[in-house]
Amino acid sequence: MVKDSLSGSPLEKASILLKGTKNFTVLTDARGAFLVSGIPAGTYSVTIAFVGYKTFKQQGIAVTGAGITIGTIALNPRTAVLEKAVVTGSRPLIESKVDRIVYNVDRDVTSQGGVATDVLRKIPQVSVDASGNVELLGNPSILFLINGKKSTIFGNSIVDALQSIPASQIQSIEVISSPGAKYDATGTGGVINIILKPLSIPLNMTLAFPPAAMTAPPTPPHMQKRRADPALSTSFPARPANWAATK
């Protein structure tokens, strides 16, 4: 059973990750209880996480054919971040909300020169390997969103897509380890929502036009000596392609 260490109340939908010979991920029920069945014999580690609470980890759990009971686990609330937010009056780097963790990228000056992959490495519950593959509490089945919506940028390769998003253009990243029924089944391991900064006036992307589009109408004879032939150059900020979000 998983409960609050202060009130003793059961924690529903806490994430349970069992890693060993085979990995298992389950959620606690309304009583804070959980059951993992069909576990092969071996040595396992268990990780229990719930938004707003410190993560519990235990190594070296021996499982035999008879099964095992780990008893009651009391999770301690995360209070330091909330107190800091109240005292300073500004947004902290990490916010723990009821159903998600919010990492405020715009508050992290060390991330501004990197990409989305670099930021994800700093977020609790999220792990990124050397190849850029992302897991949430050990589960790679993650639904990625941009501004709360699906995006075609993640269609071919999530790793390449995350590498193409500059950290300087990200406002915050939301991590939902226990998504509700409204999210796609592909995100059974959780949801990561990348919130971009509001668009500014683009200033450094060169636009090319076909020759026909640049053809000007004939110049009247009386203006041929006065009219110059200026070269027009328009530029806007380069941004990764295919960032359009779809409903």
- Beta pairing, strands 143-146 & 191-196: parallel
Helix (H, G, I), strand (E, B) or coil at 9: coil
Backbone angles phi and psi of 105, in degrees to 5: -65, -35
Domains and CATH numbers, the chain: 2-75 (2.60.40.1120), 80-200 (2.170.130.10)
- Are the C-beta atoms of residues 54 and 78 closer than 8 Å to each other? yes
Contacts of 122 (CB under 8 A, 6+ apart): 103, 108, 111
Measure Cα distances from 51 to 29, 82, 95, 100, 142 in Å.
15, 13, 10, 6, 17
pTM of the complete model: 0.46
What does the pLDDT read at residue 109?
85
What does the pLDDT read at residue 59?
87
> What is the full per-residue pLDDT of the chain (247 aa) written as tens digits?
888 988 889 999 889 888 888 888 888 998 988 888 888 888 888 999 998 899 999 888 888 776 677 788 899 988 654 455 555 556 788 898 888 999 999 888 888 888 999 999 999 889 999 999 999 988 888 899 999 888 888 888 899 999 999 999 999 999 998 887 776 655 567 899 999 998 743 344 344 444 544 455 565 555 555 544 444 444 444 444 444 444 4
How many other C-beta atoms lie within 10 A of the C-beta of residue 130? 5
What does the pLDDT read at residue 8?
87
- Are the C-beta atoms of residues 117 and 132 closer than 8 Å to each other? yes
